[in-house]
Amino acid sequence: MKARLPQGYSNKGPGNMQSMLKQAQKMQEDMAALQEALDAREYSASSGGGAVTATVTGKHNITKLEIKPEVVDPEDVE
């Protein structure tokens, strides 16, 4: 009985290893570029029907936080 490789795989020796390494390196470069693009963006989300809105950067820094006055106890505001 002979073992079979899954469809799409081949046994091309050392040349195949170099090809895989090049592909992995390209994937790393693509991921780095995507990460930079995500880090440069700002994201906003709201909760409570718009009572609270937060804006953050791709690096998880809060740049803006809005809380509607009607949802806050005026005696508890700092």
Phi and psi at 9, nearest 5°, equal -95, 150
Phi and psi at 17, nearest 5°, equal -65, -40
At a CB cut-off of 8 Å and minimum separation 6, what does 4 contact?
A: none
Instruction: Count the alpha carbons within 13 Å of 52 in the hemisphere toward its beta carbon.
Output: 5
Please give the distance of CA 41 from its chain centroid, rounded to a whole number.
11
Q: So what's the architecture of 16-71 in CATH?
A: 2-Layer Sandwich (3.30)
pLDDT tens for each residue of 41-73: 999 999 999 999 999 999 899 999 999 988 888
pLDDT in the model for residue 64: 96
Name the 3-class secondary structure at 29: helix
pLDDT in the model for residue 30: 96
Residue with tokens 């780095």: 32
* For residue 18, pLDDT beyond 60: yes
pTM for this model (two decimals): 0.56
